[in-house]
Amino acid sequence: MDVTLLGTGDTTGTPQLQCDCETCERARELSVERTRFSVHVRNERTGECLLVDASPDFRYQFQREDVGLPDAIVVTHIHFDHLDGLGNVYRLVEDVPVYAANETDPETGESVAETVRRRYDYLDAVTVEPETPFETVETCGFEVTLVPVDHPPLLCYGVVVEDPETGATLAMTGDTSFGIPERSRDRLSGADLLLVEGIVTADKCEYHPLGGTHHDSDGVPRTFGTKHMTIEGAHAMAAALDAAQYRIVHTSHFIDADDAFAESLAVDGEQYELS
Which pLDDT tens digit goes with each residue over 202-250?
A: 999 999 999 999 999 999 999 999 999 999 999 999 999 999 999 999 9
DSSP conformational letter for 176: -
The pTM (predicted TM-score) of the whole model is 0.97
Cα–chain-centroid distance for residue 166?
23
Going by their DSSP bridges, the two strands 72-74 and 49-52 should be labelled as: parallel
- Please tell me the distance from the alpha carbon of residue 230 to that of residue 241, in angstroms, as a whole number: 16
Q: What domains are defined for the chain?
A: 2-267 (3.60.15.10)
- 142-175 pLDDT, tens digit per residue, is 999 999 999 999 999 999 999 999 999 999 999 9
CA distances from 269 to 3, 13, 116, 145, 217 (A): 10, 14, 27, 24, 36
Q: Which amino acid is at 222?
A: R
- Please tell me the distance from the alpha carbon of residue 200 to that of residue 183, in angstroms, as a whole number: 26
CA nearest 216: which of 238, 246, 234, 236?
Answer: 236
Going by their DSSP bridges, the two strands 271-273 and 212-215 should be labelled as: unpaired
Q: Is 208 exposed, middle or buried (0-12, 13-18, 19+ CB in 10 A)?
A: middle
- 37-83 pLDDT, tens digit per residue, is 999 999 999 999 999 999 999 999 999 999 999 999 999 999 999 99
- Measured between its terminal Cα atoms, the distance across the chain in Å is 6
* Residues 118-136, mean pLDDT to the nearest whole number: 96
At 118 the three-state DSSP class reads helix
pLDDT above 70 as % of the chain = 100
What integer pLDDT is reported at residue 181 of this predicted model?
98
